[in-house]
Structure 1
């Protein structure tokens, strides 16, 4: 009886370990191709659109479009790598009232759920952290395959004052709008569109 029970326990453990290993193997790790990727933002200053971009960012992405619920996505952005049309504005964005990039050098998005919408489209819910302030956001993403890589693109809006960006003297939204549109196109190696 004990021998049968031990054999049964071994089989259950082996099956559980095998299932865990199979799950780990199907959850593929993607590699960001930074030279072909971009993250930009557009704000309005006194009604005039101002667009900037971040030069340095990286991503840690494990995503299988057949099992999106198991996805793990993390994107880190170097806030000091912001570029705009003016070096004076770039210097101002590094100050404590804006990005405070000396004390909080990185912004981070970490996914918590992925919802498939069909046709290579997904809604990714996650936590965006900027200046040690974290807010939950939903990011619509479209995947498009091209050769051996896949482009993940989308856009979403944040409210800068929710993250204490440009607070204080710059908190007047008639000078600088509260809403900031973020656009991205991340080229990834290792993703397949279902």
Structure 2
């Protein structure tokens, strides 16, 4: 009886330490950082869905899924926002969402994780791996990271926009995710 009760309590405490985190949209940001004519630009995505099933006690059991509405990229100008949704850029009509699905999350030391998974943009998928930091702030889990990619590998910027002297091929997807 005591052993069953102890195992049950242990199971409950482990289940309580692993939780699917709901993101706080007021504090969470996802952006694309790139250079346009050699000038740094940071554009924010306004619509996304991030699901993190995080277990601080056993990070390797954690999972993350991200979906970003490509037409929600705000580059700071209404006309340019329409432009990046066009076929040459994100082709948001045919590919309304970019996604990331983790395949592994590993501890990389205190407050650090290495996340591996599949990134899909404009129908093209690639295996990626990147570091993130995780901390508890005000009772909430906070995840910060950056994923460098090459936009042309995903077909973002076709036709005349393949010219990397106008818009650099290197793009960094930055995120600051606050879980509730």
TM over 0.5, shorter chain = yes
Aligned twin of 1:164: 155
TM-score (norm. length: structure 1): 0.82
Separation in 2, partners of 1:118, 1:77: 29
Aligned residues: 170
* Structure 2 SS opposite 1:118: coil
Moved more, 128-137 or 167-176: 167-176
Q: Deviations over 1:40-96 (max 9, x none)?
A: 111111211122000111112111022111112101111111111211111110101
Structure whose CA Rg is larger: 1
Q: Does the CA-based 8 Å contact 1:157-1:181 persist in structure 2?
A: yes
Compute the displacement of 1:139 (Å): 2.0
Structure 1 stretches (4+) deviating beyond 4 angstroms?
21-24
Q: Which runs of 5 or more structure 1 residues have no equivalent in the other structure?
A: 1-17, 190-194
Structure with bigger strand share is: 2
Q: CA RMSD in A?
A: 1.8
Aligned twin of 1:129: 120
Separation in 2, partners of 1:24, 1:93: 45
Separation in 1, partners of 2:50, 2:78: 27
Structure with bigger helix share is: 1
Q: Deviations over 1:123-167 (max 9, x none)?
A: 100111111101111121101211221110011211000100002
Compute the displacement of 1:36 (Å): 0.8
TM-score (norm. length: structure 2): 0.88
Q: Which runs of 5 or more structure 2 residues have no equivalent in the other structure?
A: 1-7
